[in-house]
Amino acid sequence: MESSDTIQLKTSNPSRGRPGLVYHCVCGFEFQVDPKVGGACGQCKRVVQPEAIQNAMSATVSIANFQDSDDVHHFELESDEPLPNRLYGHFRIDRKLGSGGMGAVYRAMDTSLQRYVAVKVMRNANHCIDSRIAMLLREAVAQARLNHPNVVTIYYVGRQDEEPFLAMELLPGPTLAEKMKSDGSIPYADAIQYAIQVASALRHASQFGIVHADIKPANLLIAGEGRIKLSDFGLSRIQSDPEQNTSVSGTPAYVAPELIRGNPISVQSDMYALGVTLFELVFGKLPFALQGVTLRERLETHLTADIEFPAVWPNSIPREFADVIRKLLAKAPDARYATYDDLIDALKLIEPVKTTTAGVALRTMAYAIDQFALLLFFVPFAFAILLFNTNAYRDYQWLSPIVAFMSLIVPATYLLLIYRGWRTIGRYLFQLRIVEENGLRPRREQLVTREVLRNSFAWFVPLVIYVDPSFSPDHLLSRILQVAFALFLAIDWATTLLLKGRKTLHDYLCHSRVVLAVDRAK
C-alpha cells in the first residue's frame, strides 16, 4: 500500500452535480479535498499533500458514488443490499461492488487502519461450508504469499458466523472484461503492456509453484494508468499437488487442451489462457467459437478448433503478433513457451515503441542527399553511354545497352543493403529511421518496397537512358516515362503537405513512418 489513508469520491455539491473528493483521515474524520492542492483535516490538523491523494487513489480509492466523470468506472449496485454496516471481523461493510459464482465483493471500512478495502464474502448456499472455506483459504494463501506489483494484495482472512471472508486491496477498476463490454477491444499497445504485466505476475507465482488456473479478462483489474493487477486465485493449484488432475476447473473459453485430456496442470496451462485472453483483448472476440450443446462438447472445442484471425489484418498490429498467439495457443503444452522469461521476451519484441515523427524539413534534406548519392553512382554509367553515342565513338554504340544493364548494379546493391538493415546516408546524417505505423521495425520486404518507391527519381534517369540513349524528346516511351515520373513525384510529396500525419504517398502505401532515431529502437 502506498498510503494508509483513504479517499472517498463523492458529489461535493448535489445541486450542481460537480464531482469532488472526501478524504477519510487516519483519525476517522472526513473532509473535502482538492486533488490538485490537497487539504487539511479539521480535527487533527493533518495536512494532506496532492501527491498523497494520488497515491491513496491508486490503492484504496472508493468510486461507487462518484458521478459525472468519464475517468472512473461506475459499479452497478443492487437496491436490496442486505449487509450495510455489518461487521466482518474489524471490517464494516459499506456497499456491494459485485458478485460471482462463489459469493460477493463489498467495499468495507477497515476500522483498525481506517482505510477502505474490498471484502469477499463466500455466501453460496450450493456449497458446503468446508468446501467454501477450503477454496477461500486456497485463494488467500496463494495470493497472500505473492508480493508483486501486478497481484492484488490480500490483507486478512477469517470467518463471521460461519461465513468465510477475506479482505483485500480495493482497486478503482474496472476489470478488463467490463472495459471491453463498454469499449470493445483494448488498444493493441495497452493489451501488450497488460500481457507483459500478467506474465510477470505469473512468473512470480510460478516461483512458489503456483499456477493461477483461471486467467481471463474478468480477473484482471485496472489499477491505474497503464497498470493491471491479477486477482482471484480461488482455483489456483500447486504444481506438485497429486490431486490436481482429478477434475477440470476454470472458465470453459480459457481452459487448456491438456486439462481437458486429464493431464496435469502446468505454467503452460496459464500461458494458454493468457493467449486466449490476449487475443480477446486485441480483437474483441475469442480466438474460436465454442461449439456444442453440453459443457464437455464446448470444452472439446479447444482440442481441434483453429484460431480465427481477422480476414484482413489490421495495419496497426504487427503480423508477428499472430506468431505469438499461435505459440501460446498450441494444442500441446511443450509447443508453447518453455518459460515466462521466453514469453516476456517475445511480447517485448512486439510491444509498440513510442516514437517522435521526423519533421518535413529533416526528411526533405535526407531525401535530397540520398538522391544525390544514388545519381552520383550512376554518373560513370551515364557518361559511358553518352560517350558511345557521340560520333567519335559511334562504332562502340553497341556497348550502350550493356553498360545500361551493368548500371543495374547500383540499385541492386542499394536495395541489398537496405534489406540487410543499413540506413541510407541521408537518414544516417540526420538521425532518422523507418518504423511501421505501430512503431515496430518494418519487415525487410516492406523496407525494400518503400525504397523502390521513394527513390523513383534516382531510378528514372538510368531507365530513360536505357530506353532512349539519345535523350530525344520525341521518343514516345521516354515522354510517357517523364510524365508518369513527374506525376508520381508530385503526388508523393503533395500528401506530405495535404494529408494528416505529414506522410508521403510511399509511406501510406507501405504503412510506414519516418521517426527520429534517438528514440528507443526495437
- Residue 384 counted as domain residue: yes
> pLDDT for 249-260, tens place per residue?
667 889 899 988
> pLDDT for 283-296, tens place per residue?
999 999 888 877 77
Based on the fold, state whether residues 139 and 91 are members of the same structural domain.
yes
Using a 10 angstrom Cβ sphere, with 0-12 exposed, 13-18 middle and 19 or more buried, the burial of residue 490 is exposed
Domain C-terminal end among 170, 205, 222: 170
Q: Which of 416, 417, 446, 452 is nearest to 434 (CA)?
A: 446
Please indicate whether residue 415 or residue 456 has the higher confidence score (pLDDT): 415
Using a 10 angstrom Cβ sphere, with 0-12 exposed, 13-18 middle and 19 or more buried, the burial of residue 395 is exposed
**Per-residue confidence (pLDDT) for residue 236, from 0 to 100:** 56
Cis peptide upstream of residue 174 (ω within 30 degrees of 0): yes
**Per-residue confidence (pLDDT) for residue 463, from 0 to 100:** 66
Please give the model's pTM, rounded to 2 decimal places. Answer: 0.66
Whether 214 sits among the annotated catalytic residues: the reply is yes
- Residue 355 counted as domain residue: no
Mean pLDDT of all residues in 482-511:
79
- Residue 354 counted as domain residue: no
* CA pair distance 432, 419, nearest whole angstrom: 17
Residue 289 CA to its chain's centroid (Å): 23
Q: Say whether pLDDT at 23 is over 70.
A: no
**Per-residue confidence (pLDDT) for residue 328, from 0 to 100:** 97
Mean pLDDT of all residues in 152-181:
83
Query: pLDDT grade, residue 191 (50/70/90)?
Result: very high
Based on the fold, state whether residues 185 and 327 are members of the same structural domain.
yes
- Residue 16 counted as domain residue: yes
CATH code of the domain covering residue 128: 3.30.200.20
CATH code of the domain covering residue 185: 1.10.510.10
Cβ atoms of residues 229 and 223 within 8 Å: yes
* CA pair distance 506, 520, nearest whole angstrom: 24
> pLDDT for 363-387, tens place per residue?
889 989 998 998 888 888 878 877 8
Based on the fold, state whether residues 228 and 154 are members of the same structural domain.
no
How distant, in Å, are the alpha carbons of 230, 330, 435 from that of 132? 21, 34, 53
- Of the candidates 94, 214, 270, 492, the residue annotated as catalytic is 214
> pLDDT for 95-143, tens place per residue?
888 776 567 888 899 888 888 888 888 765 444 556 656 665 666 666 6
Based on the fold, state whether residues 282 and 181 are members of the same structural domain.
yes
Residue 419's domain spans which residues?
360-516
Based on the fold, state whether residues 505 and 391 are members of the same structural domain.
yes
Based on the fold, state whether residues 334 and 473 are members of the same structural domain.
no
Instruction: Work out the number of other CB atoms within 10 angstroms of the CB of residue 30.
Output: 17
- Residue 25 counted as domain residue: yes
- Residue 521 counted as domain residue: no
Lowest-pLDDT range, 11-15, 263-267, 283-287? 11-15
* Helix boundaries (H) for 356-455: 360-388, 399-406, 409-419, 425-429, 444-454
Please identify which residue in the block is written with the cell numbers 553512382: 377
Domain C-terminal end among 349, 370, 398: 349
Cβ atoms of residues 424 and 368 within 8 Å: no
Query: pLDDT grade, residue 405 (50/70/90)?
Result: confident
Domain C-terminal end among 128, 154, 170: 170
Mean pLDDT of all residues in 499-504:
76
Based on the fold, state whether residues 343 and 201 are members of the same structural domain.
yes
Based on the fold, state whether residues 333 and 187 are members of the same structural domain.
yes
Based on the fold, state whether residues 293 and 314 are members of the same structural domain.
yes
Based on the fold, state whether residues 13 and 24 are members of the same structural domain.
yes
Residues 6+ apart with CB under 8 A from 95: 64, 77, 81, 84, 106, 107
- Label residues 41-61 b or e (16+ Cβ within 10 Å = b): beeeebebeeebbebbbbbbb
Question: Grid coordinates in use for 156?
Answer: 486478512
* CA pair distance 284, 23, nearest whole angstrom: 38
Q: What is the 3-state secondary structure (H, E, C) of 462-479?
A: HHHHHHCCCCCCCCHHHH
Mean pLDDT of all residues in 319-327:
94
* CA pair distance 393, 162, nearest whole angstrom: 108
Torsion of CA 62, 64, 68, 71, to 10 degrees: 50
Q: Which of 302, 196, 217, 227 is nearest to 257 (CA)?
A: 302
* CA pair distance 424, 404, nearest whole angstrom: 24
Based on the fold, state whether residues 79 and 22 are members of the same structural domain.
no
- Residue 522 counted as domain residue: no
**Number of domains present in the structure of the chain:** 4
Based on the fold, state whether residues 165 and 186 are members of the same structural domain.
no
